[in-house]
Amino acid sequence: MDGSNPFAEYLEKDAASGAAYKADTLEELAALIDVPAEALTASQEEFHSEYEADPAPLDRALGVCPKYDVSQGPFYAQTVYPRLLFTMAGLEVNENCQVVTTQDQVVPNLYAVGEIAFGNCFFDEYVCGSCAIQIAVNMGRIAGESAAQEIEAR
């Protein structure tokens, strides 16, 4: 990211606390993050030339809107770790939130709710986080009641 990005103010704070790196040039940044300067510069030049030609394909390929050409210092780098946002089309459940096999047989004593069972609710559609909460809470209630009824029936 470069200084023209509106998120730079957050990286500025992170750089001050040691959680991000900041440098005036790409070569300086490369040294700070221990990558070959030529590779970082080549990557930036490739991005910049594609951005100048047409930003729209980058929007689709990167899943972001790169409105900033990343060509002006200061430059920032930060370690990013992968995180699981959600699962998609997970376990199949019945109306009682009991996990079922591919032959629709109930798996005894196994319930699933929330994102892990969203295959039943959303199929191939993306669910934004706040929309999923209501479904998870309701499915949790159903699963809890079903489990309690199963225990009482023993």
In tens, the pLDDT along 16-70 reads 999 999 999 999 999 999 999 999 999 888 877 776 676 565 554 555 555 566 7
> pTM score, two decimals?
0.50
CA distances to 51, 89, 122 from 138, in Å: 45, 18, 15
Q: What is the pLDDT of residues 63-120, one digit of tens each?
A: 555 556 677 889 999 888 776 655 566 788 899 999 999 898 999 999 998 877 765 5
Which token pair is 60?
């689709």
Residues 6+ apart with CB under 8 A from 73: 2, 3, 23, 24, 25
